[in-house]
Amino acid sequence: MNSLFSHTSAWWTRYSDYQWKKAPDGQLYLLPTADATPRPYNMLTDPKQLMLDAVGVGQICMKKASTRTVRMEAIKGFTCKYGLMGIMTALPTTAKFVEYNQVYLPKNEMLREEVMDTIPYMKHFFPFNMPEFKKHGMESLWNLSDRTMIALAMTFQEVPQAVSMSFMRDYGERYDWLEAVFRGFAFGLTAAFLYELDKDDASPQTIQLYNAGLAGFDDNAPSYHLTLQGKPQMVWNFHSLLLCVKLLFSTMLTDDDHPLKMCRKCRKAFVADKEDQLFCDECR
């Protein structure tokens, strides 16, 4: 797994603080606070910890005993550490959707529409203040007046425009969408865990049910490009934190030497030292 991402720098942005805020339509959004400062960072500095943190939040969201307040705090804590998921650029078939008049969406848990006009789609992620944004065919005009936002946009001028827009202070993501994202990670790991326990005796219907638990990972995948760095190398293009975490999850879950597992005693997620390890280090 490490060799797969060893030549990739996946830059993302997190703010120093976030807040939950109810939009005019009643939906609860998570977005940066008014005085929070943005800081770019490399998502792949510690990919294992990123993945474990995401699954850990998902397990909190799956617990029946977890109150909504507990789930909100867990999601906010993850976001303060890593930033918002970048759902706006993760859902469409291309992160360059700003160049088109319409956005095409594979089947997902957030939006039922398969095709949406670009600006109405973007408004789902700017519930309070939509940027001054105009489209003329494939060309678009985006005006910024805040110096910090201008500097941030210039820092990420080489990425698709929608990616840099998702780093703006007014960009937010709905609570129910974020909870569904994190639940998906925990549910996928639980399905793999139950399959490992039951695979020798389970019926075909049960196996099919466990496979359904991984259906949420059958969607968009990050793109990549090849570069020559001593020899040909594959470099991933991550245009959202969500797709980065999904690829990490899939890679770690299927790793032969150090797979992602659920401890049979405490049920916490851990990365095993070897394929047949059943308990995390704390429970061994």
My answer on whether 146 and 222 are in the same domain is no
Tell me, yes or no, whether 172 and 188 share the same domain. no
> Does 282 reside within a domain?
no
Q: Which of 32, 68, 83, 74 is nearest to 55 (CA)?
A: 74
Number of structural domains found in the chain:
2
In this structure, is residue 147 part of a structural domain? yes
80 and 127 both lie in a single domain: yes
User: Does residue 2 sit within a domain?
Assistant: no
* Domain stop point among 130, 148, 176: 176
Q: Confirm whether pTM is higher than 0.85.
A: yes
Alpha carbon distance 252, 250 (integer Å): 6
Neighbours of 205 (CB within 10 A): 7
Q: Is residue 200 part of a domain?
A: yes
Residues 216 and 87 reside in one and the same domain: no
Same domain, 141 and 79: yes
202 shares its domain with 159: no
DSSP letter at 270? E
> Is residue 34 located within the same domain as residue 77?
yes
Kindly state whether residues 21 and 42 are assigned to the same domain: yes
> Are 74 and 157 contained in the same domain?
yes
d(CA 110, CA 129): 21
- How many Cα atoms within 13 Å fall on the side-chain side of residue 53? 19
- Indicate if 157 and 193 belong to the same structural domain: no
Residues 19 and 126 in one domain: yes
Among 176, 193, 215, give the residue marking a domain's end. 176
Encode the chain (284 residues) as per-residue pLDDT tens digits: 556 666 666 889 999 999 999 999 999 999 999 999 999 999 988 999 999 999 999 999 999 889 999 999 999 999 999 999 999 999 999 888 988 889 999 888 899 899 999 989 999 999 998 887 776 666 666 767 778 888 888 888 888 889 999 999 999 999 999 999 999 999 999 988 888 888 877 788 888 877 877 776 766 667 777 877 777 877 777 889 999 999 899 989 999 888 999 999 999 999 999 888 889 989 98
Look up residue 118 and give its amino acid.
T
Domain for residue 238, yes or no? yes
Does any domain span residue 276?
no
pLDDT score at 4:
65
Q: Give the pLDDT of residue 131.
A: 81
Q: 56 with 142, same domain?
A: yes
* Structural domain boundaries, residue 62: 7-176
Residue 29 lies in a domain: yes
Length of the chain: 284
Query: Which of these three, 176, 201, 236, is where a domain ends?
Result: 176
> Is 223 inside any structural domain?
yes
Strand spans (E) along the chain: 11-15, 18-22, 28-32, 38-42, 102-104, 115-117, 132-136, 139-143, 173-174, 223-228, 232-237, 260-262, 269-271
